[in-house]
Amino acid sequence: MPTPDQCQNMADIRAEIDRLDRQVIALLGQRFAYVKAASRFKTSETAVKAPDRVQTMLQQRRMWAEEEGLNGDAIESLYRDLVNHFIAEELKQWQQNPMTKP
């Protein structure tokens, strides 16, 4: 895996971006598996939506982004969209098999 500075042409750059995107997508798939598993432990729709947790998580992701020299607004927006989608999917999962005990 060449570093960005070691790439010799656009084909090298694109190949590395594609490789990284593939890894990111695989990690998102793993993340989604945990989201679906979390629905087993939720006792209400409010617990699935977990607005306080979402806000805390978004602030942390913003901080991590800024530590990496990335735009905090962009990363927060990206994660907000991602989390909203995952919450909707988790809610569907929970509604199919709601936990019956507190």
What does the pLDDT look like over 48-97, one tens digit per residue? 999 999 999 999 999 999 999 999 999 999 999 999 999 999 998 888 87
Residue reference for tokens 């905090």: 72
For 69: left if phi > 0, alpha if psi spans -120 to 50, otherwise beta; the answer is left
How far apart are alpha carbons 1 and 12 in whole angstroms?
10
CA 14 to chain centre: 23
Indicate which CATH number applies to the domain containing 85: 1.20.59.10
Position 99 scores a pLDDT of 60
> What is the pLDDT at residue 101?
41
Are 58 and 10 found together in one domain?
Answer: no
Q: Which residues are annotated as a binding site for substrate?
A: 14, 31, 42, 90
| Same domain, residue pair 61 and 36 | no
Question: Do 52 and 83 belong together in one domain?
Answer: yes
Return the residue matching tokens 């939720």: 42
Known binding residues are 14, 31, 42, 90
* Domain span at 54: 43-101
Closest listed residue to residue 72, CA positions, set 60, 81, 82, 87: 60
Residues 35 and 47 in one domain: no
Q: Which residue has the higher pLDDT, 40 or 15?
A: 15
Structural domain tally of the chain?
A: 2
Structure tokens at 5: 């500075």
Residue 30 and residue 57 in one domain: no
Going by the DSSP 8-state scheme, the letter that residue 1 receives in this structure is: -
Task: Answer yes or no: pTM beyond 0.75.
Answer: yes
Q: Are residues 51 and 75 in the same domain?
A: yes
2-15 confidence digits (pLDDT tens): 999 999 999 999 99
Same domain, 16 and 33: yes
Q: Quick one: 14 and 54 in the same domain? A: no
In a shared domain, residues 36 and 61 = no
Cα dist. 18→13, 15, 23, 24, 82 in Å?
9, 5, 9, 10, 20
